[in-house]
Amino acid sequence: MRALIFIGFAFAASCGGSDAGPADEVADTASGGEGDTASGGEGDTASGGEVEVEGEVVAGDWFRPAATTTWQLQLQGTVATGYPVDLYDIDLFDVPTATIAALQADGKRVMCYFSAGSYESYRDDAGAFAAADLGTVLDGWPDERWLDVRSVGVRAVMRARLDVAVAKGCDGVDPDNVDGYTQDSGFTLTAADQLDFNRFLAREAHARGLTVGLKNDLDQIAALVGDFDFALNEQCHFYDECDLLAPFTAAGKPVFVVEYDDRWVDDVAERNALCASSNAAGLHTLVLPLLLDDAFRWSCEP
pLDDT tens-digit map of 63-96: 999 999 999 999 999 999 999 999 999 999 999 9
pLDDT(48) > 60? no
In one-letter notation, the amino acid at residue 105 is A
Give mean pLDDT, residues 25-54.
Answer: 37
Do 86 and 108 meet the contact criterion of CB atoms below 8 Å apart?
yes
CA dist 183 → 87, 101, 208, 255 (Å): 30, 37, 30, 23
Domain count, the chain: 1
- Domain containing 274 — which CATH number? 3.20.20.70
164 is a domain residue: yes
199 is a domain residue: yes
> What per-residue confidence (pLDDT) applies to 57?
54
80 is a domain residue: yes
Q: What is the pLDDT of residues 184-237, one digit of tens each?
A: 999 999 999 999 999 999 999 999 999 999 999 999 999 999 999 999 999 999
Helix (H) or strand (E) holding 229: none
291 is a domain residue: no
50 is a domain residue: no
131 is a domain residue: yes
Q: What is the pLDDT of residues 237-267, one digit of tens each?
A: 999 999 999 999 999 999 999 999 999 999 9
Q: Are β-strands 87-91 and 71-73 bridged in parallel, bridged antiparallel, or unpaired?
A: parallel
> What per-residue confidence (pLDDT) applies to 302?
72
Please give the Cα distance from 57 to 228 (Å, whole number).
Answer: 8
Q: How confident is the model at residue 175 (pLDDT cuts 50, 70, 90)?
A: very high
Give 257's Cβ-side CA count (13 Å radius).
Answer: 31
- What is the span of the domain harbouring residue 189? 70-259+267-285
62-92 exposure pattern, b = at least 16 Cβ within 10 A, e = fewer: bbbbbbbbbbbbbbbeebbbbbbbbbbbbbb
pLDDT(102) > 70? yes
159 is a domain residue: yes
Q: What is the pLDDT of residues 272-282, one digit of tens each?
A: 999 999 999 99
* Residue partners of 50: CB distance under 8 A and separation at least 6: 59, 60
142 is a domain residue: yes
